[in-house]
């Protein structure tokens, strides 16, 4: 069963940063979980922590294929 896991940092409406985690089976609708952080640095530390956990479990890093520009 092939799975995917997406990690992204987004700005929050309240001046902080959010770590967005999307996960699920490939080809199926997944779940989206959001972690609120006070600043971008804390969100980046949380992203690194999740990335390390997933790589230890066998997930491989793949670029998303697109870059998003701020609006």
Determine the Cα–Cα distance for residues 38 and 28; give it in Å rounded to an integer.
32
Q: Quick one: average pLDDT of 53-70?
A: 74
Predicted confidence at residue 65, as pLDDT, reads 61
Residue 21 backbone phi and psi in degrees, to 5: -120, 120
What's residue 66's pLDDT?
52
Edge-to-edge strand list for the sheet holding 31-37: 3-11, 17-25, 31-37
What band does 69 get if pLDDT is binned at 50, 70 and 90? very low
Pick 58 or 38 by higher pLDDT.
38
User: Is the overall model pTM greater than 0.85, yes or no?
Assistant: no
């Amino acid at each position: 069963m092939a799975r995917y896991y997406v990690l992204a940092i987004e700005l929050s409406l309240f001046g902080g940063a959010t770590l967005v985690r999307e996960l699920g089976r490939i080809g199926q609708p997944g779940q989206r979980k959001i972690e609120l952080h006070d600043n971008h640095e804390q969100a980046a530390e949380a992203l690194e922590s999740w990335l390390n956990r997933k790589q230890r479990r066998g997930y491989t890093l793949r670029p998303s294929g697109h870059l998003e520009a701020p609006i």
